Structure 1
Amino acid sequence: MAMDYRVSWCVFATFVIVYAIFVPAVQGLTPAPAPAPAPTSDAGTAIDQGVAYGLMLLALVLTYLIHTFDTPLNF
């Protein structure tokens, strides 16, 4: 019994085409995931920002003092 390869090739090609058309459409119907909840408290961010401002103020004061004592007082 010889098998007709042309028929099986056409069946395979038809299956591939139908699969390529309908599988992406089925996957597209899934609902989108819910968005992440909004943060309820920004206390950690506020503390970090306060520490950063304090360190910047300390750097500014130290820079001012170092440059003030570094300059000669010749008028």
Structure 2
Amino acid sequence: MAVSCASLRVVAFLGLIYAALTSVASSQSPVPAPAPTSDGTTLDQAIACVLMLLALVLTYIIH
């Protein structure tokens, strides 16, 4: 059973329309990211890092 060229074009055209409509329907605007908040963990980590470096230097000097 041979498929005519016209019916193949119609099916391809309908497939492209379907693909375009589904991509438009499924697209959503992205939700903006929440504003960054500082809860003090960065400051705590910086202080811990300085104390570790101080301990390393003192250990090096003592030995």
Aligned-pair distance for 1:9? 2.0
Over alpha carbons, which structure has the higher Rg? 1
Deviations 1:30-53 (A, max 9, x none): 222121221142x12211211111
- Give the paired residue count: 62
- 1:61 maps to 58
Aligned-pair distance for 1:14? 1.4
Alignment of 1:5-20 (within 5 A): 5-6=3-4, 7-20=6-19
In structure 2, relative to structure 1, the CA distance for the partners of 1:48 and 1:40 (3 Å cut) is closer
The one-letter amino acid of 2:60's match is: T
Give me the TM-score of the superposition, normalised by structure 1.
Answer: 0.59
Ranges in structure 2 where 5+ consecutive residues have no aligned partner: none
- 1:36 maps to 34
The one-letter amino acid of 1:18's match is: I
Q: Over aligned residue pairs, what C-alpha RMSD do you find?
A: 2.6
The one-letter amino acid of 2:36's match is: A
The one-letter amino acid of 2:56's match is: A
